[in-house]
Amino acid sequence: MTAHDRATGILTIDLDAIADNWRRLAARAPGAEAAGVVKADGYGLGAAAVARSLRQAGCKTFFVATIDEGIALRPIVGDARILVLGGVLPGTGADFIGHGLIPVLNSLEQIGLWSGFAQAAAKTLPAALHLDTGMNRLGLDRAAIDLVVDDRRRLAGIDTMLVMSHMACADEPEHGKNPEQLAAFQSMSESLALSTPRSLAASSTIFLGPDYHFDLIRPGAALYGLNPVPGQPNPMRPVLRLASRILQVRDVDTPQTVGYGASHRFKSKGRVATVAFGYADGLFRSLGNRGFGVIGGIKVPVVGRISMDLTTFDVTAVPPEHVHAGAMLELIGPDHDCDQLALEAGTIGYEVLTALSRRYLRDYIGGNG
């Protein structure tokens, strides 16, 4: 048997769709460079395969979260720029320099560290400056920026190749925080008086219009097919399908229950299919008695709690020829996308993607993954 034949769960990832989504997003910001965010193992879909496909499509700048993600990515993307969003930590200078990684400097302390590394290496080192325009997470606040402006020696040895910030409410186009952050970014970045490219727009921000595009856009979730404009038709191509095998089908009748805690009781005759995935595979327990799958083109509800390795579905409405041991039930696909599953779980598509288990066989199509 092949690995595909043995697999109880199959995650099919369309690399051509990811590359096409990158092109679509780039076309929305003409004049700006389009980067690719491949942190968290390419949002759970495999950073190596995703980055290779994006590189072939023309992407020249990549963002990751940690230095180890950057080190792993370097041989995949050749001479492309790799920026590390978490910035530089004590003792990491040699690895940043050795692997050609660019830190995003989020604080005066990180600026001091990177300047020290540069002076010790007797060379100028590239970096991005992250400005906090209202997230109160990472980034230089206005007081820190004023200190940099007052004492340019803080940037000694640093080649500031990008000034960036991040939006808090971009997926809500009418939110007052959006123009507020835009104005803050313009003011704070201009006060630095650096002839440096600027970047504000991640996935949803791209759709707020050209005022937010600046010189570089940083799409992440939208590359992977998540809807960057909630409440509107998704402008992105779907990227993945997730399906798992039925292990057993049984007939049930009232007053029988199913699963731990007997949380679902049947009120009439029906059929239950037990499927080979559970919370160990990234299927959130919150989907118990509220999530759905699709089999034979028919939407079927989760009944009972999600177990570690198993989930039960009410397949009473599905013709028997589609429901048997070994048949595949689709959890994510054209009839039930990642955003819908996230809504049922009470979370967001980002969490669904990054929770996908390594137990799934990853089946790449398109590209050269």
- Among 39, 350, 360, 364, the one annotated catalytic: 39
- DSSP H/E element including 324: none
CB 206 within 8 A of CB 159: no
Confirm whether 212 is a catalytic residue. Answer: no
- DSSP H/E element including 64: strand 61-64
Strand partners for 120: none
Instruction: Answer yes or no: is 137 a known binding residue.
Output: yes
What is the spatial distance between Cα 50 and Cα 54, in angstroms, rounded to a whole number? 6
What is the spatial distance between Cα 105 and Cα 94, in angstroms, rounded to a whole number? 16
Q: The tokens 């096409």 sit on which residue?
A: 20
What token pair was written down for 155?
A: 């940037």
What is the spatial distance between Cα 337 and Cα 283, in angstroms, rounded to a whole number? 14
- Among 212, 224, 260, 350, the one annotated catalytic: 260
Q: How many C-beta atoms surround the C-beta of residue 318 within 10 A?
A: 22
Instruction: Answer yes or no: is 167 a known binding residue.
Output: no
What token pair was written down for 236?
A: 């992105």
What is the spatial distance between Cα 258 and Cα 289, in angstroms, rounded to a whole number? 10
CB 87 within 8 A of CB 103: yes
Confirm whether 299 is a catalytic residue. Answer: no
What is the spatial distance between Cα 183 and Cα 131, in angstroms, rounded to a whole number? 12
What token pair was written down for 303?
A: 């009944």
In this structure, what DSSP letter does residue 137 have? S
CB 90 within 8 A of CB 124: no
Q: How many C-beta atoms surround the C-beta of residue 248 within 10 A?
A: 13
- What residues form the annotated binding site for substrate? 137, 308
- What residues form the annotated binding site? 137, 308
Residues labelled as active-site residues: 39, 260
